[in-house]
Amino acid sequence: MAAAAPRILVLGGARSGKSRRAEQLVAEWLSRPPRRAVLLATAVAGDAGMAQRIARHQADRAQRLPQLACVEVGRDLPDALVRHSQPDALVVVDCLTLWLAQLMAPPQTAGALDVLDPAQCAAEIDRLSAALRAATGPVVLVSNEVGMGVTPLGELTREFMDTQGRMHQQLARQMTRVELVVAGRVLVLPPRAEEVLT
């Protein structure tokens, strides 16, 4: 029986090196042709600063990994993940944070997208979890770890932090490996406590 395709969740703070770590995983995967890789980009340019940030990421990636195809998916992440997954194609999602933000507080430039309530967000996360199970090839998910600082004062910000934390836990249960990137250094997180004790 063939081994299950790798599933890696890469977590880290802003400018921690998590996207660069995902690129390292892509380079390792592509080092054995005829493998392919595709990046599912979730960012939407809600303002000029974000547009510049996206353009910088695109230019840097194109220089470092010209063979990495890029597809902008916005909110359509679960369907895109299934659509692009193939046994010979690594799918990288960068990043889950921006995808969730679009569900909970879409930028005005995205048009008349509905703000999803907590139950609808949970349903979308369940759809993503199901898409991950249905994916036939390897997957790398990149996401910000936002829950390690002071609890925010704003209601929406607190709700976002809590929802993202629950999402990380739900998706981590499907991962073959979870990594935390801090200052460009990669820490491979151990299994859950209940997995260690059994």
Write the DSSP string, 91-147. EEEE-HHHHHHHHHS--GGG-SPPPPPHHHHHHHHHHHHHHHHH--S-EEEEEE--T
Tens of pLDDT along 122-162? 999 999 999 999 999 999 999 999 988 777 778 999 999 99
Structure letter (DSSP) for residue 77: H
Give the mean model confidence (pLDDT) for residues 96-120.
86
pTM, entire model: 0.90
pLDDT at 54: 80
pLDDT at 110: 57
pLDDT band with cut points at 50, 70 and 90 for residue 195: low
Q: Nearest-CA neighbor of 187 among 6, 35, 9, 47?
A: 9
Tens of pLDDT along 84-101? 999 999 999 999 999 999
pLDDT band with cut points at 50, 70 and 90 for residue 49: confident
Task: Map out the domains of the chain with their CATH numbers.
Answer: 7-197 (3.40.50.300)
Cis peptide before 87, with omega less than 30 degrees from 0? Answer: no
Q: Is 168 considered catalytic here?
A: no
Give the mean model confidence (pLDDT) for residues 35-53.
86
pLDDT band with cut points at 50, 70 and 90 for residue 3: low
Tens of pLDDT along 5-21? 899 999 999 999 999 99
Among 23-27, 61-65, 121-125, 185-189, which is the least confidently predicted range? 61-65
Among 41-50, 57-66, 122-131, the range with the most confident prediction by mean pLDDT is: 122-131
As a whole number, the mean pLDDT across the chain is: 90
pLDDT at 59: 84
pLDDT at 111: 61
Given 57, 83, 127, 177, which residue is catalytic? 57
